[in-house]
Structure 1
């Protein structure tokens, strides 16, 4: 049996599901794009190729091996994108929540069923259909659960709006002892630089008391200020619009002092080192073209 345990984003990682780029399928058509950044690269002819993405994920896997983390991979589905395991489920405390993802992606959950089968069935939940919630929008910070959402009345018109207020309320009911705080995120169907697809596209904690943040990703200044007050402005690394676009806030913590980051994030990586972090730099720029990065391609199961 897998004894799940995840209470925050940075405690020492012991087990994780890492996505896979093997047999990723052909470049999608413009009509098939789920987000503006993928669309941009499809139209420009710069959409990533499988070989490069497999190499990038292997570099990530190597870092996990170095730190003795147990890594599970999804079973291979032919011609299918299985990189972003963060979307399909998430762990809070010792509960595995299956996400209600876009219907086209349902098979991604089947591909990790062999992992879910190792969990106590009483600890596996699935929200009802009308509840939308994806792992990229759910961020644990000890007593807090931060959730990204979109409160616009045009929610249903946005394929980039992935978590609704029903999803927020569902988590509140499931974890009454936690302080659940939702954040209203800026969405765009067409402009990637103005689209916070998930909460981890504009905020993520690192270490014990620090974080990476993009102020303009929040529709309400008060949501941004909540995080400033909680973490302290001096503990937050502010990224700009371009850095948000390249997904600087979507790094991944293996421990409180170890962060895996993209090798091109020079300004961020220098700041992390100046704060005492070990930065494991890997190439991930091709995968980033699909509006997802390191946190998006992981589903942590056990942290100390």
Structure 2
């Protein structure tokens, strides 16, 4: 039996599911695009190809293995995008929650069944049908659980709105002792620079008390200020609209002082080093074209 343990985003990582870009399938049509950034690249003929994305994911795997992290990969499904493992499930404490994802992504969960089978059955939960929640919107910070959502009345019109208030309340009911704080995110179907697909597109903690944040990703200033109060203005790295678009807040922590980042994120990487972090830089710009980056590609199982 595997003993799950995730209490925050930055403690020493021991086991993780890393998605795969192998047998990723053909470039989707404009109609098939799930998000405005993919749409933009499909239309421009710059959508990433499998060969380039597979190389990027191997670089990520190599860094994880360098730090002795046990890396699980999904079973390959032919012609199918399985890069973003974060969407399909998440761990809180010692509980694995399966996401109610977009229906045509259900097979991605089947591809990690061999991992889920190693868990105690009572520790694996599937929310009721009306609950929409994806791992990119769920962020643990010790006694806090941060959850990205969209409170607009037009929620159902947005394929980019992935977590509803029923999802927030479901997590509240499961973890009554935690402070569950939801954040109302800005969504756009057509402009990727104004679309916070998940909470990790506009915020992520690093280290013990720092974070990366994009103020305009929050529909309510009060939500942004909540994080400023919690972390302290001086501990937050503020990113700009274009940096949000390139997914600057979607780095990934292997430890409290080790962050995996995209090699082109010069401004961020310099700041992290100034703050005493070891920055493992890898190429990930092709995968970024699908509106997901390093955190999106991982599903952490065990942190110390």
**How far, CA to CA, are the matches of 2:2 and 2:91 in structure 1?**
12
Deviation at residue 64 of structure 1 after TM alignment: 0.7
Residue of structure 1 equivalent to 2:207: 207
Residue of structure 1 equivalent to 2:132: 132
**How far, CA to CA, are the matches of 2:268 and 2:15 in structure 1?**
26
Deviation at residue 229 of structure 1 after TM alignment: 0.2
CA deviation digits over 1:247-278, x for unaligned, max 9?
A: 00000000000000000000000000000000
CA deviation digits over 1:10-54, x for unaligned, max 9?
A: 000000000000000000000000000000000000000000000
Deviation at residue 161 of structure 1 after TM alignment: 0.1
CA deviation digits over 1:260-297, x for unaligned, max 9?
A: 00000000000000000000000000000000000000
**How far, CA to CA, are the matches of 1:9 and 1:192 in structure 2?**
25
Residue of structure 1 equivalent to 2:224: 224
CA deviation digits over 1:149-192, x for unaligned, max 9?
A: 00000000000000000000000000011000000000000000
Deviation at residue 69 of structure 1 after TM alignment: 0.2
Residue of structure 1 equivalent to 2:23: 23
Residue of structure 2 equivalent to 1:195: 195
Residue of structure 2 equivalent to 1:56: 56
**How far, CA to CA, are the matches of 2:2 and 2:52 in structure 1?**
32
Residue of structure 2 equivalent to 1:251: 251
**How far, CA to CA, are the matches of 1:228 and 1:64 in structure 2?**
30
Q: Structure 1 regions of 5+ residues with no counterpart?
A: none
CA deviation digits over 1:181-222, x for unaligned, max 9?
A: 000000000000000000000000000000000000000000
**How far, CA to CA, are the matches of 1:155 and 1:148 in structure 2?**
13
Q: Which runs of 4+ in 1 moved over 2 A?
A: none
Deviation at residue 93 of structure 1 after TM alignment: 0.1
Deviation at residue 59 of structure 1 after TM alignment: 0.1
Residue of structure 1 equivalent to 2:79: 79
5 Å-filtered alignment, 1:1-304, equals: 1-304=1-304
**How far, CA to CA, are the matches of 1:294 and 1:149 in structure 2?**
21
Q: Structure 2 regions of 5+ residues with no counterpart?
A: none
SS at match of 2:292: coil
CA deviation digits over 1:122-162, x for unaligned, max 9?
A: 00000011100000000000000000000000000000000
Deviation at residue 121 of structure 1 after TM alignment: 0.3
SS at match of 1:39: helix
**How many corresponding residue pairs?**
304
